Amino acid sequence: MKIATYNVNGVNGRLPVLLRWLQETTPDIVCLQELKAPGEKFPEEAIRDAGYNAIWHGQKSWNGVAILTRNLPIEEVGRVLPGDPEDVQSRYIEANVSGIRIACLYLPNGNPAPGPKFDYKLGWFKRLAAHTQTLLAMDVPVVITGDFNVMPTELDVYKPERWLDDALFRPEVRAAFRELVAQGWTDAIRKLYPDEKIYTFWDYFRNAYGRDAGLRIDHFLLSPNLEGRLTAGGVDRNVRGWEKTSDHAPVWIEISES
């Protein structure tokens, strides 16, 4: 089974790119972030014509997440990260697909830091950590994936000294990610490539993609009962070079049936 995550940076504006990528790579499950579209504007028909079922949680102009499946039934089990009833941002959706619990997230950016947006990011991380403990206790296969907006280590960022005060790389955020993983999750891409430079995002400015001045901020976390089933993974970085593409590239893993 091939599972992918992709911050599309606007599902309607980048729809031709998304559909081309789906056709060329045919992942079984796809988690999308940053739809930037309200629910009624999600391109359901085009996605269905491409061979995918979909559930989504949209929001006008900002945020938004979705889970797509190819020839697989999908059962939505939640679309709000527990812990803050006043949080109305569309950043989380969760579903059961083929015996696996799939959690798709778009963690807050948090800039400028310090400040209210950074506090919101840290609070979101705490809520996520509480929920992931609950998911682990269920003892079912779980994949948590999406745009975490954090570079866990210096290996995950081009010229890390330039990012020390950024909300994606501040010590508090990196510590929150380490504490999350320490619950028992496996950082799938880093397990497969423990010492390699791998990026998933390249800014539009200063020819970042051409210079390979990137960041690894899109992650897969696997529950303990999935770690042994991880067989492959990677980044479709060529998609970042397509015309009118997102500033992220799709990231994917493959897991065996048992």
Is 34 marked as binding a ligand? yes
SS3 65: strand
Residue 28 is assigned to a ligand binding site: no
Distances (CA, A) of 18 to 30, 152, 183, 234: 11, 27, 33, 17
Residue from 28, 147, 156, 166 carrying the catalytic annotation:
147
**Residue 84 among known ligand-binding residues:** no
Consult the annotation and say whether 96 binds a ligand: no
149 annotated to bind ligand: yes
- Token representation of residue 36: 């930037």
212 catalytic? Reply is no
Select which of 6, 52, 92, 106 is catalytic.
106
Q: Is 106 a catalytic residue?
A: yes
- Look up 120 and say whether it is catalytic: no
What gap in Å lies between CA 102 and CA 108, rounded to an integer? 19
Check if the beta carbon of residue 104 is closer than 8 Å to that of residue 33: yes
In 37-187, alpha helices (H): 44-49, 116-137, 171-181
Question: Is 225 labelled as part of a ligand binding site?
Answer: no
Evaluate the CA torsion angle 85, 90, 96, 100 in order and state its sign. negative
Which residues are known to be catalytic?
106, 147, 248
Binding-site residue numbers for Mg(2+) are: 7, 34, 147, 149, 247-248
